[in-house]
Structure 1
Amino acid sequence: MKTIEIDEELYQFIAGQTKHIGEDASSILRRLLNINQSTLAKQNTIVKKENHYPIFNDLLTSDTFISEKSIISRFILLLSALYNYNPALFAIAATSLHGSKRQYLAKDKLALEASGKNTKPREIIGTPYWVISNTNTARKQYIIESIMSDMGISETMINQVTNAFLP
C-alpha cells in the first residue's frame, strides 16, 4: 500500500463521498473513478502484453522532441505527455511525489515557491500543473521515472523514455 499526501480540500471531498461507515479512501476513489480490480487487472494485462504507448512513442520520435537540446524543455514535454496519457493517474502520482524539503509538482506556482529557495517553477504546458525546474538532470529523470512508475507504465517504456531524455 502506498501513501500519498493530499490537501485538506481534496481530503474533505473524498471523505464526503463515503457511502458507508468504514469505507476506506481506496474504495471511495475506485468508485468515483469507476475502477474495479478486474478492470485494473485487464488494463495491466493489456499494457504488459502490448507494451504499446503511442503517446510516448509519438513524442520521442517527434521533430520537436528530437531537435530540443534543452533538458528542461524535454522535461516539460515529457510531463505534459504523461498528463495527457492519463490525467487522473498523473494527479495521484504528482501529489505523492516530493523531496524531503521540496515539493516537486503543484497546481500553483506559489506552492512551489513556498517549498524552497530558488525553485524556479515552470508551467507544464497543457496541464494545470507547475514543476520546479531548478534541479539537476538526475533529479529530473527521477521525477519522470517516479511518475511513470506510479502511473503503472511498463519498465520497458520507462527505460525507453529515460534513455531518450538526454539529448
Structure 2
Amino acid sequence: MKTIEIDDDLYQYIARQTCHIGEDASSILRRLLAIESYQVTAATPTQFGDFSALVALVKSDEFVNQKKLVNRFLSILAVLYTCNHSLFSVAAASLHGSKRRYLADDEQTLLRSGNNTKPKLIPNTPYWVVTNSNTARKIFIIESLMNTMEVPDYIIGLVKTQFVAK
C-alpha cells in the first residue's frame, strides 16, 4: 500500500462519499472511479448477470447531464431489467410497502395501490413503476432491486452516488 498526500478539501470530499462505517479511502475511490467494476465485469460476471451496462449507464454523459431525477430513475430500472429479466421479475414482485406496490406489470395495479402514484412505463420493459415518490423512496426501490438481483455492493454504491449527483 502506498501513501499519498492530498489537499484537505479533496480529503473531505472523499470522506463525505462514505457509504458505510469503516469504509476505507481505497474502497471509496474504487467505487467513485468504478475501477474495480470494469475489471470484475469484464473478466468474471456474477452468476446472475453482467452489470457492466449499469456501470456504463451511470457513467455516461447522457445520464450525468440528465436534469430530471425521474428520467434517471427510469433509465436505471430499464438497464436493470436488461441485465437479468427473470431476477428483475422476482425482485419487482417482492418489492412493495404495507399498502403500496412500487412496480407492476400493468398501470391499473399501481393506480389501485394509492392516490397520485403517477405510474410510468419503464422503457423497453413490460413493467410500470410509481414515480410520485421522494428521492429517498426512489433510492430505496433501486437499491432493493439491486440487492435482490445480487448486484455487487461497489456497483450499488456507484449507482446510488451517481443517481443523486448533479
User: Which of residues 131, 137, 150 is equivalent to 2:135?
Assistant: 137
Moved beyond 6 Å, runs of 4+: none
Q: Hey, what does 1:90 align to over in structure 2?
A: 88
Q: Cα RMSD over matched residues?
A: 1.8
Provide, for residues 106-157 of structure 1, a one-character-per-residue CA deviation record: whole Å limited to 9, x for no partner. Answer: 0100110000011000110000000000100000000000000000111111
Q: Percent identity?
A: 45
Aligned partner of 1:163: which letter?
T
User: Which of residues 122, 125, 134 is equivalent to 1:124?
Assistant: 122
**TM-aligned CA deviation for residue 63 of structure 1:** 2.1
3-state SS of the aligned residue for 1:83? helix
Provide, for residues 74-103 of structure 1, a one-character-per-residue CA deviation record: whole Å limited to 9, x for no partner. Answer: 000000000000000000000000011100
Structure 1 residue runs without a partner (length 5+) = 1-45
Aligned partner of 1:118: which letter?
N
In 2, are the aligned partners of 1:47 and 1:154 still within 8 Å (CA)?
no
Q: Hey, what does 1:155 align to over in structure 2?
A: 153
3-state SS of the aligned residue for 1:118? coil
User: Which of residues 143, 163, 166 is equivalent to 1:165?
Assistant: 163
Give the TM-score normalised by structure 2. Answer: 0.69
Aligned length: 121
3-state SS of the aligned residue for 1:131? strand
Counterpart CA distance in 2 for 1:154 and 1:103 is 25
Give the TM-score normalised by structure 1. Answer: 0.69
Structure 2 residue runs without a partner (length 5+) = 1-43
Q: Hey, what does 1:15 align to over in structure 2?
A: none
